[in-house]
Structure 1
Amino acid sequence: MNQQRQSLTEMLGIKYPILQGGMAWISEHNLAAAVSNAGCLGIIAGGNLSPEDLLYEIRETRKLTSRPFGVNVMLLSPYAQEQIEIICRERVPVVTTGAGSPSSFIEKLKTAGTKVIPVVASSGLARRLERQGVDAVIAEGMEAGGHIGKVSTMVLVPAVVSATRIPVIAAGGIADGRGLAASLALGASGVQMGTRFICTTECRAHSRYKERILLSNELDTVVTGNSNGHPVRGFRNRLTRHIEELEKQGSGFEEIEKIAVGALKRAVENGDINDGSMMAGQSCGLIGEILDVSQLVQSIIDEAEETIRFLGGIKKW
């Protein structure tokens, strides 16, 4: 399968096939640059950043690294169109997208020389986007933190691999070298990790956010928003219990959204672990220490190579 696909590391100009997830309020220039300097692809989270703020993040990243990096664009953001314009003007090497289809932006981005890699939650969407010219796709399973789909990583990744001929990046529930090796066995060309990169020294997330991850197990996250079609995975706390009560009462998306506005920022910047949105994937149960990004990447690669050797294979990145 992978022999028919372009190497992800060659496509993106990186040493290791690892992308850092674009997590709103978390993935800023310090983290993105550190990940890129470690040989992976660091990604700035566009989120709801104003055009001016995104431009600042891009330029600050370039001060810290000469290596490729990317920007994640949340297509539901009111600034998405303006963010795309800045990305094209600044010649950002890679764009990942979420919360919608990037169809209307693909040609513009590729003309600017930017690789386009959307997050997909189904093989059908992956196939359609491949026809429209995207360079790769991120198959994100429901184990992931934040906004999620309905299919697990173990099923979604091989389904997308079978449906396409472009590189497939596995995401959701991956936090170590074993996950990287397993993803390659499923046919993926690489992985994207979000939650694991929160527990690094370069990540700006509040210490209480990081501590919550370190003290957790794989059962500590909950999914809210299923009733209104906007499922989100995060740590169980007072906010999620409030949302669950509203869902039981039949409240619509707009009413629930009112109490969720600003909740992620409160968690990340203020360490509000009770009423903040503590987004995290099920991989939280695999994370036991805070490391420098370079140490983390090396430990992932070493463990992946050891796992592959144990299984009788030889992997050249």
Structure 2
Amino acid sequence: MGITKLLGIKYPIFQGGMAQIALSPLVGAVSNAGGLGTIGSGGFTADRLREEIRKTKAITDKPFAVNLMLMMNNIPELIQVVIEEGVKIVTTGAGTPAPYMPIFKEHGIKVIPVVPSVKLAKKMEALGVDAIVAEGTESGGHVGETTTMALLPQVTSAVSIPVVAAGGIADGRGIAAAFALGAQGVQLGTRFLTTDECPTHINFKKAVIEADDTSTTVTGRSVGAPVRSIKNSMIAEYLKLEREKASRDKLEELALGSLRRAVFDGDTDRGSVMAGQISGLCKEITTVEKMITSMFTEAQEVLNRLGNVTLVEEKESVLE
């Protein structure tokens, strides 16, 4: 079954579950536009998640998901809220959903983990998940090591469940490329940052719009927690501390609250502006609906053109 039929959505596009950002205004707009909006529950209490789910329901009657960061201590409470509120799709990260698969299946909840490797993709399929998101290192926020171009065809060759591509996609060409590599859908985060409905400070949106292909870098590799963000003075200081072999506590002290400073206060110099390498393609603020429809129109045009492309020219033999 294709990803759109599996989830009851029109367009095979997920909005990434970005912590502090993927809230009801954005989630509801994405689902209303035919995609899969996803609430980012990172840092939420059970009550906070319930509130956000109900706010989203007030905006849309279309399917939406909740992203669960499985390293959080209150995951059982968050899952209970998901069940009680009738959310039927979860995406997962930062851990394995294995302990929770029985309760997800019992309540008819579709489970879609985000994975950075073929090894993990195979493990998730063996657990009985419904689909997976294969996310390349081009993505903003927490990242793996393998690029989307290398990861996606290997994952789609290794598993039989639907695969959704993430990382480095911001227009119709990227969507077409993902489908050419075997994906059945795409997940975008960075491109949604520059939409009207995204509830971030205007300075955050401007930082993404003003970025180019070399504007991001990855911090946290030294402590096994790599995160991609747009370069600024805080990021430069963090990298300097990493080079000096600073302790994990020292690094965490510097980064504490940095995402909130960027998202809500608009401090794009001392805050963490998490965004992907594709930021250079995000050059305007537009509505979610316009963004999604224009991207899929372009993607279809690209695929139609490729249908007429001849890669190897046949030459007529010449008799001597």
TM-score of Structure 1 vs Structure 2, range by shorter chain: over 0.9
2:306 maps to which residue? 311
Q: What CA distance in whole angstroms lies between the structure 2 residues aligned with 1:28 and 1:79?
A: 19
Query: Which runs of structure 2 are paired with 1:184-263 in the superposition (5 Å)?
Result: 184-263=179-258
2:109 maps to which residue? 114
Q: What is the CA distance between 1:78 and its match in structure 2?
A: 2.7
Over the aligned positions, Cα root-mean-square deviation in angstroms equals 0.9
Question: Structure 2: which amino acid aligns with 1:210?
Answer: K
1:3 maps to which residue? none
Q: Is 1:18 matched up with 2:13? A: yes
2:51 maps to which residue? 56
Q: What CA distance in whole angstroms lies between the structure 1 residues aligned with 2:113 and 2:73?
A: 18
Q: What is the CA distance between 1:253 and its match in structure 2?
A: 2.2
TM-score by length of 2: 0.95
Question: Structure 2: which amino acid aligns with 1:168?
Answer: V
Stretches of structure 1 lacking an aligned partner (at least 5 in a row): 1-5
Moved more, 209-218 or 86-95: 86-95
Question: Structure 2: which amino acid aligns with 1:63?
Answer: A
2:2 maps to which residue? 7
Pick the aligned partner of 2:284 from 289, 293, 301.
289
Pick the aligned partner of 1:156 from 151, 160, 176.
151
Bigger radius of gyration among the two:
2
Pick the aligned partner of 1:274 from 264, 269, 273.
269
1:79 maps to which residue? 74
Question: Structure 2: which amino acid aligns with 1:177?
Answer: G
Q: Is 1:301 matched up with 2:296? A: yes
* 1:32-68 residue CA offsets vs partner (Å, 9 max, x unmatched): 0100000000000000111101000001111111100
Please state whether the residue corresponding to 1:187 is helix, strand or coil: coil
1:222 and 1:235 in contact (8 A); partners too: yes
Q: What CA distance in whole angstroms lies between the structure 2 residues aligned with 1:131 and 1:77?
A: 23
Please state whether the residue corresponding to 2:6 is helix, strand or coil: helix
Q: What CA distance in whole angstroms lies between the structure 2 residues aligned with 1:102 and 1:60?
A: 26
Q: What CA distance in whole angstroms lies between the structure 1 residues aligned with 2:32 and 2:168?
A: 24
Please state whether the residue corresponding to 1:101 is helix, strand or coil: coil
Please state whether the residue corresponding to 1:223 is helix, strand or coil: strand
1:48 and 1:78 in contact (8 A); partners too: no
Q: What CA distance in whole angstroms lies between the structure 2 residues aligned with 1:106 and 1:200?
A: 34
Q: What CA distance in whole angstroms lies between the structure 1 residues aligned with 2:277 and 2:169?
A: 9
Q: What CA distance in whole angstroms lies between the structure 2 residues aligned with 1:194 and 1:151?
A: 18
Q: What CA distance in whole angstroms lies between the structure 2 residues aligned with 1:45 and 1:193?
A: 13
Question: Structure 2: which amino acid aligns with 1:267?
Answer: A
Number of aligned positions between the proteins: 308
1:48 and 1:79 in contact (8 A); partners too: no
Q: What is the CA distance between 1:251 and its match in structure 2?
A: 1.5
1:138 maps to which residue? 133
Q: What CA distance in whole angstroms lies between the structure 2 residues aligned with 1:106 and 1:304?
A: 35
Moved more, 250-259 or 133-142: 250-259
TM-score by length of 1: 0.96
Stretches of structure 2 lacking an aligned partner (at least 5 in a row): 309-320
Q: What CA distance in whole angstroms lies between the structure 1 residues aligned with 2:259 and 2:19?
A: 8
The ranges of structure 1 where at least 4 consecutive aligned residues each deviate by more than 6 angstroms after the TM superposition are none
Q: What is the CA distance between 1:186 and its match in structure 2?
A: 0.3
Moved more, 304-313 or 271-280: 304-313
